Structure 1
C-alpha cells in the first residue's frame, strides 16, 4: 500500500527547495550534498530522499518551480491602466518584485543549469522563453513599428531590459519591495524614454 502523503508535504517540500537553493548558491551545486541539504533542513538524510530520489531531481525542482512561478506571475498580469507606459512600468515592477527573496534560486539558475540532462534544460529554457515573450509583448506597446517588425532589434531591446532586471540582485542584494519599486521606475523611465528613439 502506498505511503500516504502528509498534510504538510507541500510546505516541507517548499522549505527543502529554499534551503537547498541557498546551500547550492553558497557552496556550489557540485560541492553541496544531499546530506548537507538534510542538515540545513533539520531532517534526516533518509527523509530527504522521501521527497527527492537524487540531488539532480532536487536541482530540477528548484529551477522548474522558480521559473514556472516567474512565468505565471508575469503571464497572468492584470494591468491597472490601459496606458502603454503604465503597462511597461507595471511589468518591470512585477518582475523585480517576483525576484524578491529569490537571489539563491537565481544564482543556482545561472551556475548549475548545465548539470541537468539536456531534456530538463530544454524545459527550463522554454519557461524562460515564455517569460521573455510576455515581456516583449508589453515592450512592443512603446516601441516604434519598424523596430517591432525587426525581430533581431526587438529581441535585443527585450534582452537588454531583462538583462537589467536579471542582474539587479548582483548590485542590490536583499533589496526590499520599496527599493525594487524605485529601481523599477528608473529602469522603466530609461526604456520608455529610449525605445521610441531606436528608429
Structure 2
C-alpha cells in the first residue's frame, strides 16, 4: 500500500511535470491528480524538490545497479559490455517519462541532489571505462582505443535515444539495443576477436 501510494504520486507528477514543467506544477495539483491527501504526499516526500530528485534517482540507480551486476560477473569484457549496453538502452523504454522529465527539468535540482545524481552518473561511466580498459588490456578490444573517447561515444550515442525513441516506432527497444551493441562491438573488438 505504501509503495503503491508513492508510485501514484510519482506517476501523477511525471504527467504534470512533462506537461507543465516543474515550476508550473503545485503540490496541490499533484495530490489532486494522484487522488491522495496533502498529508499523504508529505508522508512520502519532504518537498516537490525531493520528488524531482527521486524521479531522477530511480532510473540512474536502476542502470547503475544493472551495470555493476553485469560487471561483477566472470565473463569476457565484450559480453559484459553487451549486457551493460542492453540494460542502458532498455531504460529509455522502462523509464521513458522519468527521462523526459530529467532532461527537461534537471536544472531545477537542488545542489545536494544534483551532486548525488552526478556521482551516480560518474560511477556508471567508471564501470564502462573499466570494462573497456580490461578489454584493451586482454587484447579482446583494439589496442589503439582511447578509453575516454570510446566511453563518451557510447554514453553520447545511447543517451541521445531519449530524443527520438518512440514505443510506436519501427524498431522495438530490444532491436535498437541490438543495433547499438553490433555497432559498438564492431568498433571496439580487435581483429582477432571479430
Fold shared by both chains (TM-score > 0.5): yes
| In structure 1, C-alpha distance between the alignment counterparts of 2:94 and 2:180, rounded to whole Å | 20
Kindly indicate whether residue 148 of structure 2 is the aligned counterpart of residue 118 of structure 1.
no
C-alpha root-mean-square deviation of aligned residues, in Å? Answer: 2.6
2:10 equivalent in structure 1: 17
Residue 94 of structure 2 corresponds to 101
* Aligned pair partner of 1:144 in 139, 142, 148: 142
Change (3 A) 1:15 1:155: farther
Q: Distance in 2 between matches of 1:106 and 1:117?
A: 18
The question of whether the paired residues in 1 share the 8 Å contact of 2:89 and 2:158 is answered with yes
Q: Distance in 1 between matches of 2:77 and 2:44?
A: 44
Partner of 1:53: 46
Give the match for residue 35 of structure 2.
Answer: 42
Contact 2:92–2:161 (CA<8 Å) still a contact in 1? no
Structure 2 residue ranges without an equivalent (≥5): none
- For the Cα contact (< 8 Å) 2:53–2:113, is it kept in 1? yes
Instruction: Please identify, of 71-80 and 25-34, the stretch whose mean Cα deviation from structure 2 is larger.
Output: 71-80
Give the gaps of 5 or more residues in structure 1: 1-7, 148-152
Change (3 A) 1:134 1:159: same
In the other structure, the counterpart of 1:74 is 67
Pick one of 176, 189, 192 that aligns with 2:182.
189
CA distance in 1, matches of 2:71, 2:153: 24
With normalisation by structure 1, the TM-score equals 0.79
